Amino acid sequence: MKKEWENSEILKSARLMPHKARVPAEMHIGGVRIAPATVLAPMAGVTDTVFRRFIKNASMFTNPAEAGSAEATDVDTETTNEISGCGLIMTEFTSADGLSRMRETKRKRYLTYYEDEHPISAQLFGSNAETLADSARICQDAGFDLVDLNLGCPAKRVVACNGGSGLLRDLPRIQTIFEAVRKAVSIPFTVKFRMGWNDGNIVCVELAKMAEDCGLNAVALHARTREQGYSGDARWEWIAAVKDAVTIPVIGNGDIRTPEDAASMVEVTGCDAVMIGRAAPANPWIFRQIAQYTATKQATGVGRYDTPSDMDRYRMIRDYFERLMAEVAEHPEVLGPADSDLDKRLKRNHESAQRDAIGRMKQFASWFTHGVPGGATLRREIFEAKRGAQVIDRVEAFFNRREERNEAFVPEPDEDLDAAPAAWG
Q: Which residues pair with 194 in a beta bridge?
A: 222
The answer as to whether 420 is a domain residue is: no
Q: For 27-38, how does the pLDDT look when each residue is reduced to its tens digit (9 = 90+)?
A: 999 999 999 999
Same domain for 236 and 366?
no
pLDDT of residue 257: 92
Full residue range of the structural domain in which residue 264 is found = 3-300
Which residue type, as a one-letter code, is found at position 200? G
Residues 36 and 86 in one domain: yes
221 within 8 A of 242, measured Cβ to Cβ? yes
Q: Are 148 and 122 in contact (CB under 8 A)?
A: yes
Same domain, 296 and 327: no
Which of 189, 190, 179 lies closest to 152 in space, CA to CA?
190
Q: Which pTM was predicted?
A: 0.84
Residues sharing a CB contact under 8 Å with residue 140, sequence separation 6 or more, in sequence order: 147, 185, 186, 187
Q: How do the pLDDT tens digits run along the chain, 425 residues long? A: 333 344 455 455 555 555 677 899 999 999 999 999 999 999 988 898 888 988 888 887 765 544 443 333 333 344 566 777 899 999 998 899 888 887 776 777 678 899 989 999 999 999 999 999 999 999 999 999 999 999 988 888 888 887 888 999 999 999 999 999 999 999 999 999 999 999 999 999 999 999 999 999 999 999 999 988 888 889 999 999 999 999 999 999 999 999 999 999 999 999 999 999 989 988 889 999 999 998 888 778 888 898 877 777 778 888 888 888 887 777 665 554 444 444 444 455 556 667 777 888 888 877 777 666 777 888 888 888 887 778 888 888 888 887 776 655 554 444 444 444 444 55
Residue 180, in any domain of the structure: yes
For the chain, the straight-line distance linking the first and the last C-alpha, in angstroms and rounded, comes to: 25
pLDDT of 156 reads: 83
Residue 378 lies in a domain: yes
Q: Dihedral of CA 126/128/129/133: which sign?
A: negative
Among 281, 300, 319, the domain-final residue is: 300
Q: Is residue 134 part of a domain?
A: yes
164, 61: one domain: yes
Specify whether the CB–CB gap between 36 and 87 falls below 8 A: yes
Same domain, 175 and 314: no
CA atoms of 61 and 74, how far apart (whole Å): 8
CATH of the domain at 180: 3.20.20.70
Known catalytic residues? 153
pLDDT tens, residue by residue, 189-233: 999 999 999 999 999 999 999 999 999 999 999 999 998 888 888
Task: Identify whether residues 340 and 269 lie together within a single domain.
Answer: no
Mark whether 231 and 133 lie in a shared domain.
yes
CA triple 128-132-138, angle to 5 deg: 150
Verify that 251 and 279 share a domain, yes or no: yes
Residues 171 and 67 in one domain: yes
> Other CB atoms closer than 10 Å to residue 9's CB: what's the count?
7
Beta-bridged to residue 90, according to DSSP, are: 121
- Structural domain tally of the chain? 2
Q: What is the pLDDT of residue 407?
A: 56
Domain membership flag for residue 153:
yes
Amino acid 386: pLDDT = 81
Is cis: bond before 119, omega within 30 of 0? Answer: yes
Q: Is the peptide bond before 188 cis (omega within 30 degrees of 0)?
A: no
Angle at 73 between CA 67 and CA 78, to 5 degrees: 160
pLDDT at 110: 73
Residues 365 and 255 in one domain: no
- Secondary structure, 3-state, the chain: CCHHHHCHHHHHHHHHCCCCCCCCCCEEECCEEECCCEEECCCCCCCCHHHHHHHHHHCCCCCHHHCCCCCCCCCCCCCCHHHHCCCEEECCCEEHHHHHHCCHHHHHHHHCCCHHHCCEEEEEECCCHHHHHHHHHHHHHCCCCEEEEEECCCCHHHHCCCCHHHHHHCHHHHHHHHHHHHHHCCCCEEEEEECECCCCCECHHHHHHHHHHCCCCEEEEECCCCCCCCCCCCCCHHHHHHHHHCCCCEEEECCCCCHHHHHHHHHHHCCCEEEECCHHHHCCCHHHHHHHHHHHHHHHCCCCCCCCCHHHHHHHHHHHHHHHHHHHHHCHHHCCCCCCCHHHHHHHHHHHHHHHHHHHHHHHHHHHCCCCCCHHHHHHHHHHCCCHHHHHHHHHHHHHHHHHHCCCCCCCCCHHHHHCCCCCC
Residues 6+ apart with CB under 8 A from 66: 72, 73
pLDDT at 155: 81
Residue 413, in any domain of the structure:
no
15 with 140, same domain?
Answer: yes
> Is residue 174 in some structural domain?
yes
Same domain, 85 and 103: yes
**CA-to-CA dists, residue 95 to 107, 122, 126, 153, 211, angstroms:** 11, 11, 6, 12, 21
In a domain, 40, yes or no: yes
Dist. CA 161–CA 369, nearest whole Å: 35
**pLDDT given at position 176:** 98
